[in-house]
Amino acid sequence: MDIDWVELLPDLWRLRIRSSSEYVDHVNAYLLKSNNGWTLVDTGFPGSSEALVRSLAEVTAGEGLLEVILTHIHYDHAGGSRHVSQTFGCTVSMHPDDIGLVEMTKRVLTGDHLFFRAIGIEGQLKETVRSFFARNVKLFPDTLKPIREGDVIGGPGGSWRVIHTPGHTPGHVCLYNDSLGALISGDHLLPRETSNVPYYPIPGYGPLRSYLKSLLRIESIKPTVVLPAHGEPFSDVESRVDYLFNHHESRLRETLESMSGSVDAIGLARRLKWSRGKFDDLGPVDHWLAILEALSHAEFLVELGLAERVGSDRMMYRALSKDFDRIGEELKRLRNPAPS
């Protein structure tokens, strides 16, 4: 593991944590200095936690950390959280909806396989996902402090406001500082990749609709610079949001197109195009993400009345109408709501 750091803005450092063995080749953590002390946003991969602690001691000149904020539950962000909090004796905060996912993961590990059954995951893939869960659940400290929309964190330029941006995960948060116009965007808004928008069995939670609304929320605050968890800082939020709306519109069309007869989540994921290659050639983590992303799009089509869920135990889908224009109209309506 290799970590380098740069002071991007006065009192705001980016630590770039690289890995040659993980699913992504790097992740950015950010370190904010205020009069009260240092706050770390995200903690890198599980295998980078020792190196991260050494880098933090250097950058803070031995001052240690006041607190850690996790933008979301994923292991490339939360991987060092237990080790960092034990070393510096600081709290680790995450949104309650992602704390809820840690609890859900624990339930799956103690035998609740209803979700796996519902989405048709069995055999080797189920075992791989279970061991992925088992590794990830150990990364967190025993106690996680909830942070919510509107909470503030000290840093350069005064307070940094927590903005709840559900979609990539239900409890994803960004941090925004008004006076600098700077947004720490986690995985919600990335300069190159399209963030995965996975389905979770949470009553009332529509992942894709939430994600698109969270994009608009961020666009409306007009950040002048976005500091993402993967890649370089960028500023043209509006054209990135345009791109992402178009991406999900084509993904929804493709999902509806793929519903010939009734099809389950794996069947759908197999018929969709993926940037990392054909579904059957992808690795287990990609399989898991692809299946959940196919489901979030299928559920959006159900919500629009273009498809229905069939089958009782297993989530299966059937097209009700191939009115593709309805998808574009709905996304346009979301993007440009009629003035009230």
Shortest Å distance, C-beta 215 to Zn ion: 15
Shortest Å distance, C-beta 28 to Zn ion: 9
Binding of Zn ion by 293 (CB under 5 A): no
Out of 187, 286, 299, 330, the only residue in the binding site for Zn ion (CB under 5 A) is: 187
Q: Within 13 Å and on the Cβ side, how many CA atoms surround 283?
A: 6
Shortest Å distance, C-beta 168 to Zn ion: 6
Span interacting with Zn ion, options 6-14, 222-230, 294-302, 306-314, rule CB under 5 A: 222-230
Buried b (16+ CB within 10 A) or exposed e, 38-47: bbbbbbbbbe
DSSP states of 141-206 = -S--EE--TT-EEEETTEEEEEEE-TTSSTT-EEEEETTTTEEEEETTS-SSSPPP------TT--
238's tokens: 């509006």
**Rounded-to-integer distance, Cα 193 and Cα 187, Å:** 9
Our CB check for Zn ion shows the closer of 67 and 76 to be 76
Our CB check for Zn ion shows the closer of 229 and 259 to be 229
- Element (H or E) spanning 225, and its range? strand 225-228
The residues, ordered by sequence, that sit 6+ positions from 9 with a Cβ below 8 Å of its Cβ are 156, 157, 180, 182
Shortest Å distance, C-beta 77 to Zn ion: 6
Span interacting with Zn ion, options 46-54, 85-93, 174-182, 223-231, rule CB under 5 A: 223-231
84 near 57, Cβ under 8 Å? no
Our CB check for Zn ion shows the closer of 22 and 264 to be 22
Shortest Å distance, C-beta 230 to Zn ion: 6
Shortest Å distance, C-beta 78 to Zn ion: 9
**Rounded-to-integer distance, Cα 90 and Cα 30, Å:** 16
Binding of Zn ion by 95 (CB under 5 A): no
Binding of Zn ion by 286 (CB under 5 A): no
Contact pattern for Zn ion over residues 38 through 77, marking x by CB under 5 A = ------------------------------------x-x-
Our CB check for Zn ion shows the closer of 99 and 229 to be 229
- Contact positions vs Zn ion (CB under 5 A): 74, 76, 187, 229
